[in-house]
């Protein structure tokens, strides 16, 4: 490993710490003042944004040193792309912050960015050479624009989430509280994924299986966490390891499903503990944080982020994507799953804009849509790459 | 059709809700509203006005944004269904979809196939959905843009008091407008790039009106794009062909009507090398094994000068040398050749030695071109090899006792040789396949010994001509301009007017009300003009 790569890793680490620190500063900034007046930007807020910017610069440092080391923009595998997405999310937050000066956005945007970076680090981090299809200037142009667009759109999710946490009545149980808890649980499940992966990686767990794959051939697969579900007609080769409870049919990737199950389970444990200890829904737990939030303003931030992000996403995710697809794959559109999901994302936000403009979907409806939009983006980012194989599956 | 004349004297088209000029409410409904619906400036939209003929009904159906949203959502859901299992295009091409989906995905796969989802994006109903979106785009836009344009063009500076009162941002205060104060406001408005119009005692400051056209412009872009996509099925606009070309071969490029030929000089696959390539890749290469660095066809492009002479043999004139790589297609005329696929090490020639079994002495060697084997190979001094049978893709002996061949491609060549030597001038028969020798008509003294093989690579190139690309590009560009125009600018208006000893202030924006409020506050603050308040919520 060259020094540059070492440096790059350290800078990413530093930015992670900075975002964490900035989150606490922003937390300080939204504490209600004694006189109970509306919150203006205060010293804590200034500190928060300063640290966040330093963190962002540090992450930019990671990006460019890694670029220098590998000779290509580090957006070529899942670790690099997700990390870059988190950077764009923070960048978008900083821009929106200077437009609206709302520390509360930082309290939610930065932890989400932290979770995303942690998630990204679970994928192989070594610098991989580019396969011929990726050797193009369009790699930088297309991927960075898509990530920027998605980062900005993610801020609309953050604002929508703040809106929902503030407005949803926690005094009784209903559909809204249920779904809000689902969002919270999903975030916790990502932390669960990180915890499980890290634990078993550190303990060096490895179990090899022989199984029959989709084409009817015998193949081998190594599980790095204990297999709850095993591959099709699996046979455990490593002695003394956990035997799968049930085997999956051949077309399901048992290893990935197993990881997902573990993450969901770990998430459930974590979430359950939180509920038990606090005796509150997580939505109710964080509600005090948003006490001073102006919901109208949050609604506008959410909408504004979509207005800013939508053209950027269109440019990167559809137009640049089509230009590159024409060059690399001979056709600008081929209904590859990733392409389709980019189209779905685009259609979804188009529907959102029309609902808002013509049907007057403001406030809560709009906030839920912003959440769903983010779910679609995450699905495209994670599930389409990992689950649905296609030209874009690079992990 | 009957026009509506407003009290202010302006003649409005039939169906107008708010007078284009002064803003007075023209319908009873509008008069009752607490706040005016300003989305289309209360203009006369065809869909809201006529509903008699079939055309009216169709128009009204497609002009509804609700219908448009439904179409978008249906397309979205349909598209996602298409990604549950791989589309027909992505399944191995040697299996039939009919069995593939059921075999691989069980019952779910069978249902998927039966419902036709395996080729969803080419299904009539999916294309119908896209077409319906296209129609909806046109009608929705036309229904709104023309009246909106009229309303914004005819708007007067002095708006009726009822119009101002029913704006979301409004205030009124007793007093008169001092010209000094108003000048201060105007100065600040100008510095914020407002366009100011004045009529005695009334002021209209406006900016960003062009952002109102954004949605319509981006819809035009989309329409152009869809038309471009449709034109691809027009004869001559679009070519999609494959050219499998072996090293050393010169072939006509399909789709060029015999005008162009290509010679494949060499096809190369290069892998990353842990030693030669940058050290940073070492870990990744160790983990994943081989990673391909380059697929490349070195080719020569020729043009047939004789193609206009009927019956003449092609006269190939070199146009250029080219290195075709992934991401670097060869472009010529209106065509592009893309590195798409390859087949490595196809057998090209085999070499055998005619040898005496007892002495191991070689009488000579024959090199057989597997694509064009000769009947006889004369080795001199009375030695000769004849090929009686050639089975390029040998597949065992058939029930009739004859060797079979699966295909004309030399995947597994086998020969029936007649070996002629001075000792056996009539020849001995030997059947020789890879790792197998049979002597079907008795023991032989000589044998054909395998000596070597020559292989070559086949490069697969996609031939593409797409004359619709510029239309798609144009559509995309117009869409982007429109969407940016609509998203990054706001249409803001501020009305200040003195009516009967009262100052009226009203403001409107098409979006981002907080931004408007902040801007107006900073403009009006410190003057005697009152700051308008949000009347909503």
pLDDT tens track for B215-227: 999 999 999 999 9
Residues A355 and A258 in one domain: no
Min Cα–Cα distance to chain A from B29, Å: 19
B100-to-A27, A107, A212, A250, B91 alpha-carbon distances in Å: 56, 50, 17, 13, 8
Mean pLDDT of B336-342: 92
Residues A301 and A164 in one domain: yes
Residues A193 and A155 in one domain: no
C-beta atoms of B487 and A128 within 8 A: no
Contact predicate B158/B27, CB 8 Å:
no
Model confidence at A66, pLDDT cuts 50, 70, 90, reads very high
- Where among A129, A157, A183 does a domain terminate? A129
Q: How many CB atoms lie within 10 A of CB B369?
A: 12
Of A69, A315, A331, the CB nearest to B280: A69
Give the pLDDT score at B478: 97
Mean pLDDT of B342-359: 89
> Is it the case that residue B110 has pLDDT exceeding 50?
yes
Residues A99 and A223 in one domain: no
Q: How far apart are CA B164 and CA B474, in angstroms?
A: 41
Average pLDDT, chain A: 89
Q: Is residue A321 part of a domain?
A: yes
Q: Is residue A182 part of a domain?
A: yes
Beta bridge partners of B241: B463
Q: How far apart are CA B256 and CA B241, in angstroms?
A: 10
Token pair for B247: 């090293």
Chains A, B: CB contacts within 8 A come to 146
Residue A135 near chain B (CB below 8 Å): yes
C-beta atoms of B80 and A328 within 8 A: no
C-beta atoms of A347 and B104 within 8 A: no
CATH 3.30.310 for domain B159-206+490-534, yes or no, is yes
Residues A28 and A13 in one domain: yes
Average pLDDT, chain B: 90
Model confidence at A148, pLDDT cuts 50, 70, 90, reads very high
Contact predicate A212/A218, CB 8 Å:
yes
Helix axis angle for A137-167 and A321-328, nearest 10°, is 150
> Is it the case that residue A395 has pLDDT exceeding 70?
no
Residue with tokens 């053209």: A311
Residue A288 near chain B (CB below 8 Å): no
Q: Is residue A153 part of a domain?
A: yes
C-beta atoms of A303 and B479 within 8 A: no
Contacts of A366 in chain B (CB under 8 A): none
Contacts of A373 in chain B (CB under 8 A): none
Residue with tokens 């690079």: A394
Find the DSSP H helices in B236-386: 282-288
DSSP result, B203-261: EEEEE-GGGGGHHHHHHHHHHHHHHHHHHTTSTTTEEEEEEEEETT-EEEPTTSTTSEE
**A366 or B411, greater pLDDT:** A366
Token pair for A387: 């689950």
Helix (H, G, I), strand (E, B) or coil at B455: strand
| Closest residue on chain B to A338 (Cα) | B83
Give the pLDDT score at A343: 96
Q: Is residue A137 part of a domain?
A: no
Residues A122 and A14 in one domain: yes
Mean pLDDT of B362-369: 90
Give the pLDDT score at A391: 53
Q: Is residue A136 part of a domain?
A: no
> Is it the case that residue A37 has pLDDT exceeding 70?
no
Of A69, A129, A214, the CB nearest to B277: A129
Token pair for A174: 């209903």
Give the pLDDT score at B1: 57
Give the pLDDT score at A35: 53
Where along chain B do its domains lie?
A: 45-152, 159-206+490-534, 214-233+467-488, 238-345+460-465, 348-453
Contacts of B75 in chain A (CB under 8 A): 347
Give the pLDDT score at B362: 87
Interface of A with B in 246-275 (CB under 8 A): 249-251
Note the pLDDT tens digit of each residue in A268-322: 999 999 999 999 999 999 998 888 888 999 999 999 999 999 999 999 999 999 9
Of A203-217, A343-357, B3-17, B445-459, the one with minimum mean pLDDT is: A203-217
Residues A259 and A301 in one domain: no
Give the pLDDT score at A161: 96
- Where among A129, A158, A181 does a domain terminate? A129
Residue A296 near chain B (CB below 8 Å): yes
What residues contact A85, with CB distance under 8 A and at least 6 apart? A116, A147, A150, A151, A381
Give, as one character, the DSSP assignment of residue B412: B
- Where among A279, A308, A341 does a domain terminate? A279
Contact predicate B261/B269, CB 8 Å:
no
Residues A12 and A82 in one domain: yes
Model confidence at A176, pLDDT cuts 50, 70, 90, reads very high
Note the pLDDT tens digit of each residue in A79-90: 999 999 999 999
Q: Is residue A285 part of a domain?
A: no
**A29 or B440, greater pLDDT:** A29
Q: How far apart are CA B260 and CA B330, in angstroms?
A: 13
Q: How far apart are CA B465 and CA B324, in angstroms?
A: 16
Q: Is residue A71 part of a domain?
A: yes
Residue B389 belongs to what H/E stretch?
strand B383-391
Residue A282 belongs to what H/E stretch?
helix A282-286
Give the pLDDT score at A388: 62
Q: How many CB atoms lie within 10 A of CB B167?
A: 21
Of B65, B280, B293, the CB nearest to A70: B280
Give the pLDDT score at A59: 97
Give the pLDDT score at A153: 97
Contacts of B339 in chain A (CB under 8 A): 132
Give the pLDDT score at A40: 55
Residues A184 and A255 in one domain: yes
Of A3-17, A170-184, B46-60, B114-128, the one with minimum mean pLDDT is: B46-60
Give the pLDDT score at A167: 93
C-beta atoms of A351 and B69 within 8 A: yes
Residue B294 near chain A (CB below 8 Å): yes
Min Cα–Cα distance to chain B from A231, Å: 14
Please count the helices (runs of H) and the strands (runs of E) in chain A. 13, 5
Of A145-149, A162-166, B27-31, the one with minimum mean pLDDT is: B27-31
- Percent of chain B predicted with pLDDT > 70: 100
| Closest residue on chain A to B518 (Cα) | A100
Residue-range definition of the domain harbouring residue A115: 1-129
Residue B106 near chain A (CB below 8 Å): yes
A24-to-A45, A47, A324, B519 alpha-carbon distances in Å: 10, 10, 42, 32
Give the pLDDT score at A84: 96
Q: Is residue A273 part of a domain?
A: yes
C-beta atoms of A344 and B280 within 8 A: no
Residues A160 and A300 in one domain: yes
- Count of domains for chain A: 3
DSSP result, A106-160: HHHHHHHHHHHHHHHTTS--SPPPPPGGG-SHHHHHHHHHHHHHHHHHHHHHHHH
Note if the pTM is more than 0.95: no
Mean pLDDT of B466-481: 95
Give me the sign of the Cα torsion angle B322, B328, B329, B333: negative
- Percent of chain B predicted with pLDDT > 90: 51
C-beta atoms of B89 and A384 within 8 A: no
Residues A333 and A209 in one domain: no
Give me the sign of the Cα torsion angle B320, B325, B328, B334: positive
Mean pLDDT of B393-403: 84
Contacts of A297 in chain B (CB under 8 A): 514
Interface of A with B in 343-382 (CB under 8 A): 343-344, 347-348, 350-351, 354-355, 357-359
Residues A91 and A69 in one domain: yes
């Amino acid at each position: 490993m060259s020094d540059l790569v070492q440096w790059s890793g350290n800078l990413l680490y530093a930015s992670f710490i900075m975002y964490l620190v900035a989150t606490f500063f922003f937390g300080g900034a939204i504490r209600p003042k004694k006189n109970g007046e509306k919150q203006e930007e205060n010293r804590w807020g200034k500190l928060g944004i300063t640290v966040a910017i330093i963190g962002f610069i540090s992450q930019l440092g990671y990006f460019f040193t890694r670029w220098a080391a590998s000779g290509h923009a580090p957006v070529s595998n899942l670790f690099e792309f997700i990390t870059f997405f988190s950077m764009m999310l923070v960048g978008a937050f900083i821009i929106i912050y200077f437009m609206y000066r709302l520390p509360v956005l930082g309290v939610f945007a930065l932890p989400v960015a932290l979770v995303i970076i942690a998630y990204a680090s679970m994928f192989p981090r070594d610098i991989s050479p580019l396969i011929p299809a990726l050797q193009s200037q369009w790699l930088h142009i297309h991927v960075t624009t898509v990530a920027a667009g998605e980062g900005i759109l993610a801020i609309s999710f953050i604002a929508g989430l703040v809106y929902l946490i503030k407005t949803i009545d926690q005094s009784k149980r209903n559909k809204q509280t249920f779904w809000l808890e689902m969002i919270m649980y999903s975030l916790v499940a990502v932390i669960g994924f990180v915890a499980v992966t890290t634990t078993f990686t550190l303990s060096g767990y490895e179990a090899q299986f022989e199984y029959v794959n989709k084409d009817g051939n015998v193949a081998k697969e190594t599980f790095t966490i204990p297999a709850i579900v095993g591959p099709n007609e699996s046979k455990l080769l490593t002695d003394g390891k956990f035997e799968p409870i049930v085997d999956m049919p051949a077309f399901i990737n048992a290893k990935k499903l197993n990881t997902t199950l573990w993450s969901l389970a770990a998430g459930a444990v974590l979430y359950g503990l939180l509920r038990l200890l606090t005796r509150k829904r997580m939505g109710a737990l964080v509600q005090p944080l948003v006490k001073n939030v102006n919901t109208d303003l949050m609604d506008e931030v959410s909408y504004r982020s979509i207005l800013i992000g939508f053209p950027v996403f269109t440019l990167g995710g559809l137009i640049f994507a089509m230009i590159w697809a024409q060059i690399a794959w001979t056709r600008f559109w081929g209904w590859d799953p990733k392409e389709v999901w980019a189209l779905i994302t685009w259609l979804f936000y188009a529907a959102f804009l029309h609902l808002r403009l013509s049907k007057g979907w403001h406030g809560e409806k709009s906030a839920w849509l912003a959440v769903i939009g983010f779910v679609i983006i995450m699905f495209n980012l994670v599930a389409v790459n990992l689950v649905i194989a296609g030209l874009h599956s690079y992990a | 059709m009957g026009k509506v004349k407003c009290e202010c004297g302006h003649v409005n088209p039939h169906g107008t809700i708010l007078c284009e000029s002064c803003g007075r409410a023209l319908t009873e409904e509008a008069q009752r509203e607490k706040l005016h619906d300003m989305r289309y400036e209360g203009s006369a939209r065809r869909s809201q006005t006529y509903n008699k003929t079939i055309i009216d009904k169709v128009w009204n159906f497609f002009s509804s944004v609700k219908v448009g949203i439904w179409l978008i959502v249906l397309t979205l859901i349909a598209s996602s269904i298409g990604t549950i299992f791989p589309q027909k295009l992505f399944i191995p091409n040697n299996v039939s979809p009919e069995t593939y989906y059921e075999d691989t995905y069980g019952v779910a796969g069978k249902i998927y196939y039966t419902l036709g989802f395996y080729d969803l994006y080419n299904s009539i109903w999916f294309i119908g959905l896209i077409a319906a979106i296209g129609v909806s785009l046109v009608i929705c836009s036309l229904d709104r843009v023309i009246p909106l344009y009229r309303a914004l063009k005819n708007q007067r500076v002095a708006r009726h008091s009822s119009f101002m009162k029913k704006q979301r941002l409004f205030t009124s205060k007793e007093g008169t407008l001092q010209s000094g104060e108003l000048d201060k406001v105007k100065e600040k408005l100008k510095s914020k790039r407002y366009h100011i119009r004045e009529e005695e005692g009334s002021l209209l400051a406006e900016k960003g009106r062009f952002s109102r056209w954004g949605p319509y412009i981006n819809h035009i872009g989309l329409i152009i794009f869809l038309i471009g996509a449709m034109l691809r099925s027009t004869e001559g606009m679009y070519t999609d062909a494959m050219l499998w070309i072996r090293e050393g071969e010169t072939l006509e490029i399909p789709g060029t009507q015999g005008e162009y030929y290509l010679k494949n000089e060499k096809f190369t696959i290069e892998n990353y090398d842990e030693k030669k390539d940058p050290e940073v890749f070492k870990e990744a290469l160790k983990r994943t094994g081989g990673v391909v660095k380059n697929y490349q066809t070195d080719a020569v492009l020729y043009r047939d000068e004789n193609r206009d002479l009927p019956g003449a043999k092609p006269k190939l004139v070199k146009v250029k040398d080219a290195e075709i790589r992934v991401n670097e297609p060869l472009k010529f005329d209106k065509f592009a050749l893309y590195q798409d696929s390859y087949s490595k090490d196809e057998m090209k020639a085999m070499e055998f030695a005619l040898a005496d079994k007892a002495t191991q002495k070689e009488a000579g060697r024959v090199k057989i071109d597997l694509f064009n084997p000769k009947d006889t190979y004369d080795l001199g001094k009375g030695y000769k090899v004849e090929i009686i049978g050639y089975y390029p893709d040998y597949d065992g002996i058939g029930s009739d006792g004859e060797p079979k061949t699966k295909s004309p491609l030399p995947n597994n060549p086998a020969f029936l040789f007649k070996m002629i030597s001075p000792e056996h001038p009539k020849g001995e028969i030997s059947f020789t396949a890879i790792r197998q020798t049979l002597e079907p008509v008795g023991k032989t003294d000589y044998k054909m010994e395998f000596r070597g093989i020559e292989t070559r690579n086949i490069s697969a190139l996609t031939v593409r001509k797409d004359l619709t690309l510029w239309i798609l590009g144009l559509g995309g560009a117009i869409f982007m301009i429109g969407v940016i125009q609509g998203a990054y600018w706001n249409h803001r208006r501020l009305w200040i007017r003195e009516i009967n000893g009262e100052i009226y202030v009203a403001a409107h924006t098409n979006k981002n009300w907080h931004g408007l409020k902040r801007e107006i506050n900073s403009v009006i603050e410190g003057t005697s003009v009152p700051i308008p308040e949000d009347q909503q919520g």
